[in-house]
A = this chain, B = another copy of it.
């Protein structure tokens, strides 16, 4: 039986596996996490609106009815294209007839990897929890701050990059300080906190039509976000950010500016673009190896000779479905076919949420914003979220947040209260795990 190995249980990998249900192939899906993550809602975990479990489902649980599918918790270290073998970090190897690479992307700091500790990005549950704890802890420390300068730095929240993630995080932070925490403190007024959104380019949401970009900026400003476009970040350290020549003191910085594809792709030995993505053929395969398909954020798919397809869920989902169709059809005919159909992306538009009742929608020729766009965002995201339970719970959480402005997951569980300026430490029992919160 043909062996299909899928690297990555994100949208691309999972939809390939789903499309191969009951196909006469043996599928192995490898991921270093035990769960599929609904990334478009990850910013809601980082901003304490949802619990991690609400947007993550065990991959093996999603695929439990796929008798031909095995799920392996592990990390691929390299691919040997010639012997058709995937090598895992633990030394084991897996042979394949088809290889699906859906290993996604991680943050890129454009050569400044030392910024990562001070300005974490938002890709995994662990990232989101880290950002959530830093954000909540900043307010706690500000409440106790010894000097106005220390308080000011603690209440400056800086988001770098005004793509969808940056805009969503900035909007949510603004709502937290304006509404959620309004009455919770005695020594500080959370409304004095500043949310600063830095963008090197000339506009927010650069992939959107100009009018929606402008709407998004207005909405953010109405929420109190300090939006600074054409502002390049030149330095980040534990005390703050330098951007556009100005130093902004801050203890909570979030990186949403750049992506780079998984380093595994280097082992494929094919041309990569500047973001480390494999430049794929019209059938998503790599040059000279039709049995290897690179999908989703890992692929640079030259879209009708224009810009490559963006790194968004619909692309990954459609590529996964396409890959499964190709494998099914070729498996039935017992060969890789010369007339393999090429992948066609059906662009369904884009949506970004800015805050409660505020979103922008760019659906074909329709461009709109406000409450209707926000309802559409909710509908689409609940629809694509995996699992009936998660859908119901998330809808409930959103309903509570909408009516009360509350956020259900304001939890600091791993961080130790450690502030250089004050030397405070609230570490507890020896078996308690710690994260260093700089």
In the complex, chain A residues 103-137 whose Cβ is within 8 Å of any chain B Cβ: 106-107, 113, 116-117, 120-121, 123-127, 129-130, 136-137
In the complex, chain A residues 321-359 whose Cβ is within 8 Å of any chain B Cβ: none
Q: How far is the CB of A75 from chain B (nearest CB, A)?
A: 4
Q: Is the CB of A424 within 8 A of B61?
A: no
Q: Is the CB of A116 within 8 A of B430?
A: yes
On chain B, the residues within 8 Å of A72 by CB distance are 143-144
A73 CB-CB contact with B under 8 Å: yes
Binary B-proximity of A76-99 (CB < 8 A = 1, otherwise 0)? 000000000000111100000000
On chain B, the residues within 8 Å of A90 by CB distance are 422-425
On chain B, the residues within 8 Å of A406 by CB distance are 61, 389
Given contacts A136-B34, A425-B75, A426-B89, contact A186 B70 (CB under 8 A): yes
On chain B, the residues within 8 Å of A424 by CB distance are 74, 88-90
Number of copies: 2
Q: Is the CB of A117 within 8 A of B53?
A: no
Q: Is the CB of B422 within 8 A of A393?
A: no
| Partner among B53, B75, B137 whose Cβ is within 8 Å of the Cβ of A409 | B53
- Once the chains are docked, how many angstroms separate the CA of A390 from the CA of B400? 10
Q: Is the CB of B117 within 8 A of A431?
A: yes
Q: Is the CB of B412 within 8 A of A34?
A: yes
Q: Is the CB of A432 within 8 A of B393?
A: no
Binary B-proximity of A167-180 (CB < 8 A = 1, otherwise 0)? 00000000000000
Q: Is the CB of B425 within 8 A of A89?
A: yes
- Once the chains are docked, how many angstroms separate the CA of A72 from the CA of B141? 9
Q: Using a CB–CB distance below 8 Å, which chain A residues touch chain B?
A: 32-35, 51-54, 56-58, 60-61, 64-65, 70-75, 88-91, 106-107, 113, 116-117, 120-121, 123-127, 129-130, 136-137, 140-141, 143-144, 183-187, 389-390, 392-393, 396-397, 400, 404, 406, 408-414, 417, 422-433, 435
| Partner among B53, B137, B186 whose Cβ is within 8 Å of the Cβ of A411 | B53
- Once the chains are docked, how many angstroms separate the CA of A58 from the CA of B136? 10
Q: Is the CB of A32 within 8 A of B414?
A: no
| Partner among B56, B74, B389 whose Cβ is within 8 Å of the Cβ of A426 | B74
On chain B, the residues within 8 Å of A65 by CB distance are 183
Other 5 A-B pairs with CB < 8 A, given A35-B413, A117-B431, A392-B400: A52-B411, A65-B183, A75-B417, A75-B426, A130-B433
- Once the chains are docked, how many angstroms separate the CA of A239 from the CA of B105? 37
On chain B, the residues within 8 Å of A125 by CB distance are 411, 413
- Once the chains are docked, how many angstroms separate the CA of A54 from the CA of B411? 10
On chain B, the residues within 8 Å of A126 by CB distance are 413-414, 432-433
- Once the chains are docked, how many angstroms separate the CA of A425 from the CA of B427? 27
On chain B, the residues within 8 Å of A143 by CB distance are 72-73
| Partner among B124, B389, B426 whose Cβ is within 8 Å of the Cβ of A432 | B124
Q: How far is the CB of A255 from chain B (nearest CB, A)?
A: 9
